[in-house]
Amino acid sequence: MKDMERVLYPFCAIVGQEQMKRALILNIINPALGGVLIRGEKGTAKSTAVRALAEVLGERREIAGCRFGCDPDDPAFWCESCRQQAEKEVTVGRMRVVNLPVSATEDRVVGTLDMEYALKHGEKKFEPGILAAANRNILYVDEVNLLDDHIVDVLLDAAAMGVNSIEREGISYSHPARFVLVGTMNPEEGDLRPQLIDRFGLVVDVAGEQDVDQRAEVVKRRLQFEADPEGFAASYQDEQLRLQEKILQAQKLLKEVTYSDACLRLVAELAIELEVDGHRADITMLKTAMTNAAYEGRTQVTKHDLVQAAQLSLPHRLRRRPFEEGTMDLLQVAGRIEEYGEI
């Protein structure tokens, strides 16, 4: 029998927490959403969900020997070494979770350039950091609120650009860094600056189940898993495979998803009414709606997609004044979308 630690709790066995699960899945389908921040008390399946989702995804093609795991079918995002190779061997890998410790330094995160080697030999020598390992994977930061603000900025920049660039004394190096950024935190232990929270594409607040039946089911499943991890995981295998196929199909369908001018105007009107700063909210909401449409097997954004997107992309961007609630709560936003004309 496998060691219990090597058998992960199945993603499809997680009870409740639908918003968290949806946000994670949408980011897997479309990493350009900009990651997800999950805020909540301890014991609410935050880290369990992150690790379990990576296990759902099946094998994938990688260029053999590439330290960034470049995709042989996506030359636009090949590293410098893969571009220079005339012939490329292909191997099989899997998406994995790369952990970033809160004590990580900038060099540990972005990697380093060996300046002495460059001066002696006239060529670059790059020592990969965590962002190199994160390419095409999930970059998981537990207690992200305890991470240095500058490091959080670096992560969010790389997540937005899909590239990690290092420059030292006039020498520069870039490599692909397309990853799904997932940060988790317990608000009781301190918060992130509003400017940093805004840069996360989606934010979800989670709490322990308050429904008696749901709470009892959480305990029941956990005890079943601990008693027989392999058997418990096997009982969810079919459901996990269906989710895997749904995600893969959504990734293919995403490029075909369209939206109407009326849909675009509605998103813009909501952003103005909510008094959000800048345009990040509009862009993220529309991207999220398109990704949700693909996940549900459609090529046209609907009001349903906009409501789902609003729930995930707007709460942390609602402008609040001291001792006042936001200008509009999420129920009002959903109502505003439903009352709008044809989109």
* pLDDT one-digit tens code per residue, 30-86: 988 988 999 888 877 788 898 899 888 878 899 998 989 999 988 888 988 898 887
Task: Report the 10 Å Cβ neighbour count for 29.
Answer: 24
Q: Which of 211, 251, 181, 231 is nearest to 10 (CA)?
A: 231
The runs of H, that is alpha helices, within the chain are: 18-29, 46-56, 80-84, 106-110, 115-121, 130-134, 149-161, 194-199, 212-227, 229-235, 237-253, 261-274, 280-295, 303-313, 330-339
Are 29 and 167 contacting, i.e. CB atoms less than 8 angstroms apart?
Answer: no
Q: Which of 36, 33, 6, 32 is nearest to 21 (CA)?
A: 36
Q: Which of 302, 295, 300, 303 is nearest to 333 (CA)?
A: 303
Residue 122 pLDDT? 64
Q: Which of 215, 222, 280, 298 is catalytic?
A: 280
- The CA distance from 312 to 157, in Å, is 20
Residue 321 pLDDT? 45
Residue 224 pLDDT? 95
| Maximum distance among all Cα pairs of the chain, rounded to whole angstroms | 68
Residue type, 196: L
Domains of the chain: 17-57+95-206 (3.40.50.300), 255-339 (1.10.8.80)
Q: What DSSP assignment string belongs to 241-252?
A: HHHHHHHHHHHH
Using a 10 angstrom Cβ sphere, with 0-12 exposed, 13-18 middle and 19 or more buried, the burial of residue 6 is exposed
List the chain residues with pLDDT less than 50: 1-4, 321-324, 326-327
- The CA distance from 193 to 154, in Å, is 15
Q: Is 336 an active-site residue?
A: no
Could you tell me the CA-to-CA distances from 228 to 8, 127, 224 in Å, in that order? 12, 42, 6
Are 221 and 13 contacting, i.e. CB atoms less than 8 angstroms apart?
Answer: yes
Q: 16 Cβ partners below 8 Å, 6+ apart?
A: 209, 211, 214, 218
Task: Report the 10 Å Cβ neighbour count for 334.
Answer: 16
Q: If DSSP codes are grouped into helix, strand and coil, which group holds residue 222?
A: helix
Q: Which of 188, 193, 186 is nearest to 316 (CA)?
A: 193
Residue 45 pLDDT? 76
Q: 149 Cβ partners below 8 Å, 6+ apart?
A: 193, 196
